[in-house]
Structure 1
Amino acid sequence: MALRLDYVAGVSPSKWLRAWGERRADLPLEAARVDEHEQLERLRSGEVDLAFVRLPVEADGLHLIPLWEELAVVALPKEHPFADEAELALADLDGEPAAPVQSDPAMTLELVAAGTGYAIVPHSIARLHQRRDVVAVPLADAPPTRIALVWRVERDDDDIQEFVGVVRGRTARSSRADETPELSPAKAAKKAAAERRAAEAARGGGKNAAKGKNTGKGASARSGTGRGASGRSASQRGRRKGR
């Protein structure tokens, strides 16, 4: 008997496999990578017990825990005029041809390399299928994708819950009640910013902390200048394309 797990490209389950092996040597965990178009087929048919999927999915009859977000990037041929940009916006791609999307992301990037157009993919996919003739540029305003752990409602037993606990960072001695509730992206960002400010204040202390606040305001002003520069960069990109 074994616990069976599927995961889509871009997910690396090795740390959870190791943690499960250390905790439950009596119940092996078998993992297999599947294509996105079939990420729920084996789960719903009962061939596997859990799956790391890329949202959105039809969640009827499933338990679903959203996990982490993936940055969106645009894959471009290495010779493309935008290939050296540090960041792009969706508007920069207006008028650009898009490569035909394939069920296998590696084949989509193959078409990008062949010059058929660009492709917007999660950064994890671009990294997994990295090629010398394709570059991945972050998209500032593209919505991120998200990975989730799903399992069938009727398969919600102690073994499943123990694996869920491993993924969510529960130790063998802790309970589900000990978990830190998942924060929304906005709340997580606010919490991270507050923690950074507290750390800076602790390092500086007293007057230095106050200076740190002033520096923060200056940094905000400079950041505003940076956005203006970014706007000019976008205009320059437009001129390079003959707009």
Structure 2
Amino acid sequence: MTGSEASPSFRLAYVPGVTPTKWVRIWNERRPDVPLTLVAVSAAEAPGLLRDGGADAGFVRLPIDRTDLSAIPLYTETTVVVVPKDHLMAAVDEVSAEDLAEDIVLHPLDDTFDTLEWADRPGRAALERPATTADAVELVAAGVGLLVVPQSLARLHHRKDLTYRPVPGAPESRIALSWPEDRTTDLVEDFIGIVRGRTVNSSRGRPTPPQPRAKRADKSGAKGGDKGGARRKPAAGKSTGKSPRGASGGARGSAKRGKPGRRG
């Protein structure tokens, strides 16, 4: 690790569609002494924000340039197409990329569509690209075209007059936790542990404090040693209260072998 806990707070960036609530709650439980500040950022701007020190760590959409950023992939999202509720595609369970060939598929300028890494973009391009995903959703509601996005964004921009359907075989967006490689501080390590599900007592990334040794039993029997010694090794000639079958059998056998001698 490099760096130290010099910052009075931990700044966590997150891109649209990511819900960091669970991790923030755990952080507040484990590190109440360090306030966590959330920083909302677009997918395209997230890497630059981390490099410039605008956040200590952040949830980003892959791919990103990992030359100076570390990243831990967390999960992959289903890709869906957003359509009006009265659209023909709303009547089916899923939609293929080929099904979109004759429709206008909107391509927002905020680069959310680019994180899906299409080899061939589905559908027909619109005359103008909407500035944001939110603007594209408005155009879908107006019947101008359709929108292909990660499922979390479809949920984020939910409208009563719209729905979405999964697109099997389409590229999928991956969410990762990222941070500047040369600023892997103790606070960053703490947050990595939370995201990875480590327990509060985990020693990963932190030195383990020396633990006191357990006191050994007193062999002299000064403190309860008599009782312990009696349980471990009974005194000679003293019964333990147990009658092993082998012992009793041996006694009976000896008595039988002695009878012929007495008859003679």
TM-score normalised by the chain length of structure 2? 0.64
CA distance in structure 2 between the partners assigned to 1:175 and 1:71 by the alignment: 35
Given candidates 49, 62, 67, the residue that maps to 2:74 is 67
Deviation of 1:6 after TM superposition, in Å, equals 0.5
RMSD: 1.3
Give the counterpart letter for 1:138 in structure 2: P
Given candidates 3, 21, 29, the residue that maps to 2:10 is 3
CA distance in structure 1 between the partners assigned to 2:92 and 2:164 by the alignment: 10
> Where do 5+ consecutive residues of structure 1 fail to align?
178-243
CA distance in structure 2 between the partners assigned to 1:108 and 1:6 by the alignment: 24
Report Cα offsets for 1:180-229 as digits up to 9, x if no partner. xxxxxxxxxxxxxxxxxxxxxxxxxxxxxxxxxxxxxxxxxxxxxxxxxx
Checking the alignment, whether the CA contact within 8 Å between 1:9 and 1:125 is kept in structure 2 is yes
Give the counterpart letter for 1:30 in structure 2: T
Give the counterpart letter for 2:196 in structure 1: R
CA distance in structure 1 between the partners assigned to 2:203 and 2:96 by the alignment: 44
SS in 2 for 1:115: coil
Deviation of 1:84 after TM superposition, in Å, equals 1.5
Number of the residue aligned with 2:94 = 87
Number of the residue aligned with 2:169 = 141
Report Cα offsets for 1:104-150 as digits up to 9, x if no partner. 32211111111121111011100111012221011111121110000
Given candidates 114, 120, 129, the residue that maps to 2:148 is 120
CA distance in structure 2 between the partners assigned to 1:91 and 1:34 by the alignment: 33
Number of the residue aligned with 1:56 = 63
Number of the residue aligned with 1:23 = 30
Deviation of 1:161 after TM superposition, in Å, equals 0.6
Number of the residue aligned with 2:184 = 156
Report Cα offsets for 1:60-105 as digits up to 9, x if no partner. 1011100011100001122221122111111111121112424232
Checking the alignment, whether the CA contact within 8 Å between 2:39 and 2:55 is kept in structure 1 is no
Number of the residue aligned with 2:53 = 46
CA distance in structure 1 between the partners assigned to 2:186 and 2:44 by the alignment: 29
Given candidates 187, 192, 195, the residue that maps to 1:167 is 195
CA distance in structure 2 between the partners assigned to 1:57 and 1:47 by the alignment: 17
Report Cα offsets for 1:34-61 as digits up to 9, x if no partner. 1112112221101111010011111110
Give the fraction of aligned pairs with identical amino acids, expressed as a percent: 45
Change in CA separation of 1:78 and 1:102 when aligned onto 2, cut-off 3 Å: farther
Is 1:97 aligned with 2:125?
Answer: no
Report Cα offsets for 1:142-165 as digits up to 9, x if no partner. 121110000001111221111100
CA distance in structure 1 between the partners assigned to 2:107 and 2:151 by the alignment: 18
TM-score normalised by the chain length of structure 1? 0.70
Checking the alignment, whether the CA contact within 8 Å between 1:74 and 1:118 is kept in structure 2 is yes
SS in 1 for 2:182: helix
CA distance in structure 2 between the partners assigned to 1:34 and 1:25 by the alignment: 25
Give the counterpart letter for 2:138 in structure 1: E
CA distance in structure 1 between the partners assigned to 2:181 and 2:108 by the alignment: 33
CA distance in structure 2 between the partners assigned to 1:7 and 1:155 by the alignment: 18
Is 1:36 aligned with 2:38?
Answer: no
SS in 2 for 1:164: helix
Q: Which has the higher contact order (CA 8 A, sep 6+)?
A: 2
